[in-house]
Structure 1
């Protein structure tokens, strides 16, 4: 009798996730689920992080049919039994530090791994955007799925378009941020975010916050932000970030909004060729428009 080969995947915490057969029922952190969806894999359940609430964040959900996939909870309120009730063969999440399963309390992750394999993909500062994308592609491939070949050609074309848009004499000033409210804002440090580093590598003029506390963000007031004089603002669209209409009581924000082009930015976007093609194309179009108006 022919024996099946056990499924294995070496994750980015250096751990080997093993199952008797290729996993079919997969519960994921929502960003990971959105990425796997772009590879043709439908999760059976989703969970969020400590920054999320009782409902899934549409920004993190990408193209996922969120109304059709159970959302199991988020952060400290998420119990391992709730995840196990979805009867997963595998749990997929991300890690920022190469150690912790993001979105799960350490105790929850430990209890979960006693019952079901857990695989993580590193999305933090130590990885390039291409490396993150290829690690998800490798995981999806081990699960028998992948993005169509045409997606690679589309991404190559989008990267070429972005390099052409940033290669002119005028280089618009681009600032990535996450509004905390009308009094303060978190400015992204481009070196800490794989997608922002990729933009820089393709010639986008990303502004650097002043040195100081905070590895990923520099938290300042809107006056300091307006003084950076951005032409384009990449604005966090996750539900935990403040919306533009919540900021208009501040004159400095109103000045930014009046002179800058605002683009949606999702620091936890799906890590697929499809998603990155859309992102690079949007930035390229906006850089070209801003340069033309200069």
Structure 2
């Protein structure tokens, strides 16, 4: 499957906003000492990733490098990578939400923007495993095409597939990997977060009875992107919970439909959930587009943020779903 750079970036969001974070990667210095995982010890490690690749190692990896989404998921399960790549630091120096609860002062940053990966620094870290999510089966997210062959030779790599799964399924996949890396899934903070997540998901299912039609959008200066609920875990979860999500006429990549702002009224919706990441157009900017501003959901104030690419952990998704339940609980069907 051939995917353009722009198309792949859009796929990550399930929407069509190209990444525009400031380049702040590779700023951490020497390799930190590998953290002690919960119960890894010197046990052998066997794992088959979603590419069908089997990893057999004589001992459980401790020196783990991960794309920020994977790093954030593993971190909340108790597995602490030593380095990350992908958006982890905002232009003001603060932590990017995509890196979740990872303490960016305690990990090495190998790159902060698309196509940025410090290979020499990576080699110097002496990694034992690299972990990344995937939107396409054999493509590790944020591993540059130009250096992937070199990166693959340094240490084993594990890919976790996102496309076609919902968030619950992806969280479980990261939990399984974390357990193999020594995490204790029965730890109190994890079980409490899972209980919150499941309660919020059940509340979301009950809200489906309201019959709200929901449109998933992301804005750029020149276009509004309407996402399908079928491909990306964030949105598939909403559809699987029974919510009525607008199904746009997607492009060849299958993730979204690109509309000019003049055609922002193509679909009718009671509620609009918008991509609230820093690289997407903000709500106030979108409201400056006349056709968007006149949409019934916008006029009624039934436009709510949704952080796309929320890390796949029970902690982060409990937060997201609780906020979403509160917002949708306020909304009503429009005439």
**Partner deviation per Cα, 1:129-171 (whole Å, 9 max, x = no partner):** 3321111011000011144223332222112211222223xx2
**CA pair 86-237 structure 1, distance change in 2 beyond 3 A:** farther
Query: 1:286 is matched with which residue?
Result: 327
Query: 1:77 is matched with which residue?
Result: 116
- TM-score, length basis structure 1: 0.86
Separation in structure 2 between the aligned mates of residue 63 and residue 284 of structure 1, nearest angstrom: 22
In the alignment, does 2:231 pair up with 1:189? no
Query: 1:244 is matched with which residue?
Result: 283
**CA pair 224-260 structure 1, distance change in 2 beyond 3 A:** farther
Whether the 8 Å CA contact 1:166–1:287 is kept in 2: the answer is no
Unaligned runs of 5+ in 2: 1-40
Q: How many residues are aligned here?
A: 286
Separation in structure 2 between the aligned mates of residue 105 and residue 91 of structure 1, nearest angstrom: 13
Q: Which moved more, 1:66-75 or 1:13-22?
A: 66-75
In the alignment, does 2:214 pair up with 1:174? yes
In the alignment, does 2:191 pair up with 1:152? no
Whether the 8 Å CA contact 1:231–1:260 is kept in 2: the answer is no
Q: Secondary structure at the match of 1:175?
A: strand
1:211 Cα offset (Å): 4.9
Q: 1:16 aligns with which of 54, 58, 79?
A: 54
Matching of residues 7-156 of structure 1 within 5 Å: 7-48=45-86, 58-73=96-111, 74-125=113-164, 127-147=165-185, 148-156=190-198
Whether the 8 Å CA contact 1:137–1:146 is kept in 2: the answer is no
- TM-score, length basis structure 2: 0.76
Q: Which moved more, 1:260-269 or 1:189-198?
A: 260-269
**CA pair 220-214 structure 1, distance change in 2 beyond 3 A:** farther
RMSD of the TM alignment (CA)? 2.7
**CA pair 236-118 structure 1, distance change in 2 beyond 3 A:** same
Separation in structure 2 between the aligned mates of residue 54 and residue 287 of structure 1, nearest angstrom: 32
Unaligned runs of 5+ in 1: none
**Partner deviation per Cα, 1:240-293 (whole Å, 9 max, x = no partner):** 322234334321233344434333323321112222222222222222210389
Separation in structure 2 between the aligned mates of residue 211 and residue 268 of structure 1, nearest angstrom: 20
Whether the 8 Å CA contact 2:227–2:257 is kept in 1: the answer is yes
Q: 1:207 aligns with which of 242, 246, 258?
A: 246
**Partner deviation per Cα, 1:57-99 (whole Å, 9 max, x = no partner):** 7131122223443321143332422322333221110111211
